[in-house]
Amino acid sequence: MSHDPAPRLPWAALFGLQGRTALIAGASSGIGRHIAGVYAAAGAQVVLAARRMDRLAEAVAQLRGQGHAAHGVALDVTRGETIAAAFDAAEQVAGAPVDILYNNAGIIYSKPFIEQDEAEIARVFDTNLKGAMLVAQEAARRMVRRRSGVIINIASSAGLRAGGTLSSYCASKAALVHLTHVMALELASKGIRVNAICPGNIATDMQEALKPFEETLVKRTPMRRFGQPDDLDGVSLLLAADAGRYITGAAIPVDGGQVLTWM
C-alpha cells in the first residue's frame, strides 16, 4: 500500500471548482440560491433545481448576467418521479454529469408538539428526509458508475440539539445527519464523499417562521447574531473541493456556537 502524499496544490486550486458540475436542490431562494452563486464564482457549472420555476429563472438569469455557466431544471423532491428526470435534464443542459450535489431543499413549521397535525408532519418529513434521501440516492447511483462525486446534505443545528416548537423539523434533520453517516460509510469505497452542513439561524426567508423567537435565539447564540448566507461559503467550498478530499461522514455546525449552549 502506497502512503505517498497527494500532490500539493495552490490554495486557489484546492478550493476551486473549475471543470465541475454542481446541482443545487432547493435553489430558487435562500441558502441554495446563494451557494449556486458561490459555486459558480469558484468555477463550477451550476444547475439550479427547484419547484418554483419563476424564481429559478430569475436566479439563473442573474448568474448568467454575471458571466457564469448556469442552468435551471424542475425538481420537486416530494415527487419521486421528478428526481431522475431532473438529473437527466441537468446532464443534458450541462453537457456533463453531476459531480457535486448540494442537497438543500427543506421546510420548517414552528408549532407546539401536540398541535402539529398529520399533514404538517408528513410534509416536513417528505421534504427534509425522504426527499433528501431520494435525491441523494439518484446522485449516488450515477456517481458510483464514475467512482467519483460529492454529496453535501444540508441538515441543521436543530438536528444536533432539541428546539422547542420544532419537533418535526428537529427529528427530520437529526435523521438526515444520521443518514449522512450511513451514506458516507457505504459510499467511501466507491469514491464518493458525503458530508452534512448543520446551519444555525441563517437570515433567509425560511427563518421567518422563527421571527417571534428571534430575540431569544440571538441571546442563546454565543456570537450574539443570526448568521448570513455567506457565513456558509467557506464550509460549502471546503466540502465540495479538493481541499476536503479526506473529509467524509462529517456533520459540521455553522451556528455561531449555538449548539454548544445545548450540550
pLDDT digits (tens, 9 = 90+) for 55-76: 999 999 999 999 999 999 999 9
pLDDT tens digits, residue range 190-229?
999 999 999 999 988 776 766 677 888 888 899 999 999 9
Closest-CA residue to 202 (of 154, 262, 161, 160): 154
Look at residue 47 and tell me whether its pLDDT is greater than 70: yes
* Residue positions counted in the chain: 263
Q: Give the tens place of pLDDT for each residue, 14-42.
A: 999 999 999 999 999 999 999 999 999 99
Amino acid identity of 183? M
Closest CA to 103 of 214, 12, 236, 228: 236
Residue 4, helix vs strand vs coil:
coil
Predicted pLDDT at 205? 79
Cβ neighbours of residue 220 closer than 8 Å, sequence gap 6 or more: 258, 261
Does domain 16-262 match CATH 3.40.50.300?
A: no
- The DSSP symbol for 241 reads S
Give the largest Cα separation in the chain, rounded.
58
pLDDT the model gives residue 262? 64
Return the active site residues. 169
pLDDT at residue 182, rounded to an integer: 98
- Residue 203's Cβ-count burial label (10 Å; 0-12, 13-18, 19+) is middle
Boundaries of every domain in the chain = 16-262
pLDDT tens digits along 72-122? 999 999 999 999 999 999 999 999 999 999 999 999 988 999 999 999 999
Give yes or no for a contact between 123 and 107, defined as CB atoms under 8 angstroms apart.
yes
